[in-house]
Structure 1
Amino acid sequence: MKEELIDDKICKFTDCLEALMMKMQEADNTCVELSKDISKRDFAVLIFVGKNHDVIMRDIAMYLGIPVSTTTGVIDKLVEKGYLKRYHSKEDRRTIKIGLSKFGLDSYNLLQSTLHHMGGAMLAGLSEKEQTELIHLMERVAANLVNYVPTAK
């Protein structure tokens, strides 16, 4: 009986997450459609660079979960399209940093604005206390997944 209740909670929770992810994908798709020339993975890179500012190739590779050699191709295309820029670190001229170009910053801001509006809509029906609790719980849920590796069972 107890196991059935846990399974029911897991199903309800994953159903809610799936609905949220579908709406998040709609927001991503809207931004991708506006730009016409970059993929969702490219937007993921723009978000990462925008949030973390000047990063190195290894940071992006770790974030995407792909080899640095593959990341180089992704970054090359985004530099060529004018979204990103490469430059030498002021601290160590041997280190190449990646940052948003003006055009990349505009695209990043568009996506952030879209997500901000969506976040506002999600929190709108909740009291301030409920909003704080939800954010706290979501942070804990996200922390639970730090070392999670999906497996097919």
Structure 2
Amino acid sequence: MNDVDNILDFFIDNVKKLFFPEEWIKIDLKFSKYELFTMLFIDRKSEVTMTELVGYINCPMSTATGIVDRLVRNGYVSRSRSETDRRIVVIKLTDAGCKFINDLRDTISKYLKIILEDLTGEEKQFLIGIAFKIMNKLQTDINIMENTDEDKTVIKKIDIE
């Protein structure tokens, strides 16, 4: 068995512990990854245009419209026209959306505090450095894979409610 297999087995055996505590049960995790990223993006910016959202989640406008439609229908975001340019659609979190994102952030913060509380300052810096190195490597390799696959025709399947 190689290092990757050992890490994968360790990760699978232990990650389940993160998803069973009572805190996670309280949080409604019925959202797709696009819906979660949409709400997190809106939370960070306070309001976004559809064009900004499309750029952030890297999907066609029709897909973003479907995502926003579901979030509006479920009461997590509101959609309105810009006061300065009626052609621009602006999306904001509703009170329910803000509460969900705050609860999610609080739960994640709680776990991060648990992780960091027994680490020294040097270990924290090392952990942060490794995390950034991992994310940069993944992003670089994903960009390379996307660029080599550009010549191939890709059909994306999107689940629609």
Which SS does the other structure have where 1:35 is aligned? Answer: coil
Provide, for residues 96-138 of structure 1, a one-character-per-residue CA deviation record: whole Å limited to 9, x for no partner: 1211111100000010011111111222221122112211331
Gaps of 5+ in 2: 147-161
Q: CA 1:58 to 1:148, structure 2 compared with 1: closer, same or farther past 3 Å?
A: farther
What amino acid is aligned across from residue 15 of structure 1 in structure 2? L
Could you tell me whether the CA contact under 8 Å between 2:27 and 2:104 is conserved in 1?
no
Paired position in structure 1 for 2:111:
118
1:136 to 129, 135, 139: 129
Gaps of 5+ in 1: 1-6
What amino acid is aligned across from residue 86 of structure 1 in structure 2? R
What amino acid is aligned across from residue 32 of structure 2 in structure 1? K
- Does residue 1:95 correspond to 2:84, yes or no? no
Which SS does the other structure have where 1:86 is aligned? Answer: strand
1:60 CA drift (Å): 2.8
Q: Normalized against structure 2, the TM-score is what?
A: 0.67
Q: CA 1:80 to 1:95, structure 2 compared with 1: closer, same or farther past 3 Å?
A: same
The size of the alignment, in residue pairs, is: 141
What amino acid is aligned across from residue 67 of structure 2 in structure 1? V
RMSD of aligned alpha carbons: 3.5
**Alignment partners' CA distance in 2, 1:142 and 1:66:** 21
**Alignment partners' CA distance in 2, 1:103 and 1:90:** 24
**Alignment partners' CA distance in 1, 2:113 and 2:10:** 17
Paired position in structure 1 for 2:153:
none
Q: CA 1:43 to 1:116, structure 2 compared with 1: closer, same or farther past 3 Å?
A: same
**Alignment partners' CA distance in 1, 2:124 and 2:107:** 19
Could you tell me whether the CA contact under 8 Å between 2:76 and 2:93 is conserved in 1?
yes
**Alignment partners' CA distance in 2, 1:54 and 1:121:** 32
Paired position in structure 2 for 1:3:
none
Paired position in structure 1 for 2:39:
46
